[in-house]
Structure 1
Amino acid sequence: MTESVLHQTIQNLEGVLPELEEQERHLRNQLDAVVKQANSARSALENLRVLTGTDHSDRQPVAAGSASAEVSVDATVAEAAPAQVAAEPEAAAGAESAADASVVPQPRAATSPRTKRRPAKKAADKKPAAAKPRAKKAATKRAVAAKQPAAAEQESGSLLDAALEVLKKAGEPMRPRDINTALGREATPGQIESVRNTLDRAVKKTDLVTRPGRGTYAAA
């Protein structure tokens, strides 16, 4: 009876041992990571204190606290392994759940992906609304731009007709300045230049006006 119980216990322990060894490796890896982080923090702290000129006596409590923390972690790992090996499978399951609970949970993101997407959705909804005034402005500009050449062409045509009447009545070549004066327009450089440009286009594109001399125009 006793021998069968011992064999059963051996089988139970052999079945539990791989899990315990895996937990031991996991805990030791965690310990190594914590030690590395502590060493990095200690090294950075030393460098910062050297830069700021902090007294060495201020560093000792931190070092002592770190050393005691490392010793306590080592002691916890050393005590946990023998206790788990000697326990029954039920105790092993309890140790496994305790080890899982001891793992530091990863911090969650401050905002969920759903929360992050909401501003983007609102921004996407607003873009078409903002585009409507631009479309209206563009259409207005095109309409104005289309009207301006038509108005300029109409003005140029009426100016050409009036200039032709003046040239026909004069019966001799005239300069743009004189034609502009005969039309009763202001004697500004811009007005005179508009008469000259209108007559130049008429000479090139029509046979209504000729240029008998430099700077003079006559009706054909």
Structure 2
Amino acid sequence: MSASVNKVAIVTGASRGIGQAIACRLADDGFAVTIGYATDRLKAEAVVAAIECRGGQAIAVKADVSQAADVANLFWMTEQAFGRVDVVVSNAGVMALAPISSDEIDAFDRTMAINVRGAFLVLAKASKVLEDGGRIVVLSSSVIAKSTPGYGAYIASKCAVEGLVRVLANEVQGRNITVNAVAPGPTVTDLFLKGKSAQQLEVLAGLSPLNRLGEPADVADLVSFLVGAQGRWINAQVVRSNGGFA
């Protein structure tokens, strides 16, 4: 493994789904990539192997993003392996669906710990480590616009994340660092498909004028644009990647 490479990205929650697609796309773009994962080491290592098979460089680092020490280690391991950090994609998150009820406070606390505290810690570390010209992308969600029952904690967490993005973009003023959020709509991942019937999926697909569900690659393409040279003037924005789902 090279001690120093041209471009380096950290992607949290990258062992599956949208995070995996983002990591693989950035590797194809020439980034050495750190695959941040919470629990499933085998899946994370499989993503590393897939990237290496395509001629890229990657490592897997276990990190609970709600823990400051884990986040610090994630960045430290990346710098030890690749010598720098240029792009950070904060994708790790949970979606514990439950009504707004005092009986569901545990689900609320877990959602806030991972989705908000985790994003805060990753953004905070990125703002200290990234060199001038760096890029930060955080995953939000287009479900914010729907106010769907059962999504109270999740929507609240993503509203908080969008607020963090706008504030951090101003806090890193003068360093040519862009900070943006990407808000996917319904996207075909194992987590999204779980418990849904074919009929439910058909109805959801019909909510988009394009008459289909999103694919992880759709989101990865947008992240690739935002962290690339052509995305240099996009800053402090929430970009909806949802096929017109609104």
TM-score normalized by the length of structure 2: 0.17
Larger Rg: 1
The structure with the greater share of residues assigned to strand is 2
Higher helix fraction: Structure 1 or Structure 2?
1
